[in-house]
Chains A and B, each alone.
With several copies, the nearest count.
Chain A
Amino acid sequence: MSVSPAEVAVVPDTAMPHARLVGVTRVFSRRGRGDDVHALGPIDLDLKRGEFFSVVGPSGCGKSTLLDVLAGLATPTSGTAEFEGRPIAGVPAGVGAVFQEDASFPWLSVTDNVAFGLRRAGVDPAEIARRVDYAIGFMGLRGFADAYPAQLSGGMRQRVCIARTLVMQPRLILLDEPFGALDAQTRLLMGDELLRMWRETGATVLLITHALDEAAMLADRVGVMSARPGVFIDIVATGWDAERDSRIVSHPRFGDLTGHLWERLRVESLKHLREG
């Protein structure tokens, strides 16, 4: 059964959004060279409180740039960005991010990595110990609490970064290709953990990924971006219920969904390929 865009159209959004982007663009001006890079937008996006939103799009289309704007690490060249009703200026409290690159601190053990943010925030040590222990167990790092990142695989390091972000209990979690270091199979299993965490915390999640099946399996809605400058060419509601996990891949609608996403991206990818 094929899912046409009409069937999975954007669900009208009445509740006050958790985060909102209106007409956001971002242009990198290259000093001295003259030619500016229009990296992103204009983007309009409302993230509902507690929703799981995935973003897919060709390489270099501005996905990480979009995340930077939401994290308050980059200011939009034009347009406005809001989080919990307030304009984003600087990194807002309550937002956590896991970046595309490995950001684990190699000079700290797994435990110290995970506790890092809490210690800087001056949280009570007993509370830190409790939260860190829980996060380490949750991320399947129990046997590696005293190991250093150099002793871990790329995937485990990403899990350390996720744990380090989760212990801060952010209300909006931004994830940029958090499973990039893993093979496709392990990615989906990690996706199960992510879904569990999402259900438990009730946080809003924005997940950037290259893998269409991952996006289709995890998200409530999948935003498809065009080649640079990235704009949303489609936002597809998956219609899964919250109790989903990776076994959903054998659901008949799953293949239709990925097929639909793939079709939307085919044209964009071709564009991208031409450009080099």
Chain B
Amino acid sequence: MTREGWIRLLVIAAAVAALELACRLGWVPVTVVIPPSAMAASLVDILASGKHWADIVVSLRSVAIAAVLSIGLGFLVGAVIHAWPLVRGAVEPLLASYYAVPTFMFYPVFIILFGVGPAAIVAIAVLLAIVSMISATLVGLDRIPLVLRKTARMMHMGPASRALLIGLPAALPHLFTGVKLAVAYAFIGVIASEFILSGAGMGYAIAYAYNNFDNREMYGLMLLIILVVTVVNTGLDAVDRRLQARLRR
């Protein structure tokens, strides 16, 4: 591991230890936050007892579907907008404003369109995640150096092979930024919607524990989410770093 990695581990360990201490000494009431060790124990119980496996599967499946959909659709939409400068000039200013509106306000609308349950939740998450993918696609396609297009023409390549063999790999590092964001937002979108609206999934399980003041269970589940997010992010980071190292110009 790199030096930064070790320092990071140390910082996190220190933060966790501080929280543990604060809880154990009663500075933070256990009715609000439980010690990290108790969270870990609770997580072990949750996983061992298997009572939330169904929720975990539902949530992760929703996240995965939402992430894949927003990445794929985001790239397509981004590519189309990019090819069409007039539309782009019109749409781009709207993109950043978009995050101000809580998407789950539209849940009733989505229920009409997608029915209740995971589909509507996935739709909310896609709505949240797709914008960062579109933006990243635009940036990525912008950054393809003109000279690569020229080179492709010198090799007598057609539009399709040009897009596939030059455009896509050349834009990939930027697309990956979008991928990372899209995954993060897919997580936020799914869990938060489940928390507020749904009757299933990890978000719902947390909300349920929250409403029943079952802090042990709640924090156990939250720890699980943090761990999953960290693992996914670390994996994406590793891929990203390899891409960056290779594709940096």
> Looking across the interface, which residue of chain B has its beta carbon closest to that of A161?
B151
Tell me which of B119-127, B134-142, B152-160 binds A. Answer: B152-160
- Fill in one digit per residue for B41-54: 1 if any A CB lies within 8 Å of its CB, else 0: 00000000000000
A31-B3, A103-B151, A107-B170 in contact; A120/B249 too (CB < 8 A)? no
Alpha-carbon distance between A102 and B2 when the two chains are bound, in angstroms: 32
CB within 8 Å of B: which of A130-152? 148-150
Query: Are B2's CB and A99's CB within 8 A?
Result: no
B148 within 8 A of A: yes
Residues of A within 8 A of B2 (CB): 32
A101 touches B147 (CB 8 A): yes
Which residues in B have their C-beta under 8 angstroms from that of A91? 153-154, 156
Asked whether, in the complex, the Cβ of A106 is within 8 Å of the Cβ of B247, the reply is yes
Tell me the chain B residues, 93-134 only, with Cβ under 8 Å from chain A: none
Q: Which residues of B contact A105 (CB under 8 A)?
A: 148, 166, 169-170
Compute how far the CA of A106 lies from the CA of B168 in the bound complex, rounded to whole angstroms: 12
Partner of A103, one of B150, B157, B161, B169: B150
Tell me the bound Cα distance from A134 to B169 in angstroms.
27
With CB as the reference atom, state the residue of chain B lying closest to A117: B155
**Known contacts A99-B150, A101-B145: A150-B157 contact under CB 8 Å:** no
- Is residue B172 within 8 Å, beta carbon to beta carbon, of the partner chain? yes
B residues near A102, Cβ cutoff 8 Å: 147, 249
Q: How many residues of A contact B (CB 8 A)?
A: 25
Q: CB within 8 Å of B: which of A94-119? A: 95-97, 99-103, 105-107, 116-117
Measured between alpha carbons, how far is A32 from B249 in the docked complex, in Å? 24
Q: Is the CB of A150 within 8 A of B150?
A: no
Which residue from A71, A99, A150 sits with its C-beta under 8 Å from B249? A150
User: Hey, which chain B residues are within 8 Å of A37, CB to CB?
Assistant: none
Which chain A residues border B155 with CB–CB below 8 Å? 116-117, 120-121
| A32 vs B6: C-alpha distance when bound (angstroms) | 12
Q: What is the CA–CA distance of A70 and B3 in the complex, to the nearest angstrom?
A: 31
Chain A CB count within 10 A is highest, among B172, B245, B246, for B246
Q: Are A99 and B147 interface neighbours, CB within 8 A? A: yes
Interface centre among B2, B155, B170, B248 (most CB of A within 10 A): B155
Task: Decide if B150 touches A73 in the complex (CB within 8 Å).
Answer: yes
Q: Nearest chain A CB to B137's CB is how many angstroms away?
A: 17
Which A residues are CB-close (under 8 A) to B151?
Answer: 99, 103
Q: For residues 79 through 103 of chain A, which have their beta carbon under 8 Å from a beta carbon of chain B? A: 91, 93, 95-97, 99-103
Nearest chain A CB to B248's CB is how many angstroms away?
5
Contacts of A106 in B (CB 8 A): 170, 246-249
Query: Is the beta-carbon distance between B246 and A107 smaller than 8 angstroms?
Result: yes
Give which listed residue, A93, A103, A120, contacts B147 with CB less than 8 A.
A103
Q: A97-B154, A107-B169 known; A149 and B147 CB under 8 Å?
A: no
Minimum CB–CB distance for B249 against chain A, Å: 5
CA of A95 to CA of B153, assembled, Å: 12
Contact B172 A107 (CB under 8 A): yes
A149 B154 Cβ-Cβ under 8 A: no
Expressed in whole angstroms, the minimum distance between the Cβ of B140 and any Cβ of chain A is 13
Whose C-beta in chain A lies nearest to the C-beta of B173? A106
A116–chain B nearest beta-carbon distance, Å: 7
> Separation in Å of the B46 CB from the closest CB of chain A?
38
A177 to chain B, nearest CB (A): 12
**Residues of A contacting B156 in the complex (Cβ-Cβ under 8 angstroms):** 91, 93, 120-121
Which residues of A lie under 8 Å from residue B154 when comparing CB positions?
A: 71, 73, 91, 95-97
Q: Using a CB-CB cutoff of 8 Å, which residues 213-249 of chain B contact chain A?
A: 245-249
Contacting residues, chain A, for B146 (C-beta < 8 A): 101
- How far in angstroms is the closest Cβ of chain B from A190? 20
Query: Can you offer 28 A-B residue contacts whose CB atoms are under 8 A?
Result: A31-B3, A68-B150, A71-B154, A73-B153, A73-B154, A91-B153, A91-B156, A93-B156, A96-B154, A99-B147, A100-B147, A102-B147, A103-B148, A103-B151, A105-B166, A106-B170, A106-B246, A106-B247, A106-B249, A107-B169, A107-B172, A117-B155, A120-B155, A120-B156, A121-B155, A150-B245, A150-B247, A150-B248
Contacts A31-B3, A107-B246 known; 13 new A-B pairs at CB < 8 A: A73-B153, A73-B154, A91-B154, A97-B154, A103-B147, A103-B150, A105-B148, A105-B166, A107-B170, A120-B155, A120-B157, A150-B245, A150-B249
User: Which 10 A-B pairs have CB atoms at the shortest separation, nearest pair first?
Assistant: A107-B169, A101-B147, A106-B247, A103-B147, A103-B151, A117-B155, A99-B147, A150-B248, A148-B246, A120-B155
Binding site for A on B (CB under 8 A): 2-3, 145-148, 150-151, 153-157, 161, 166, 169-170, 172, 245-249
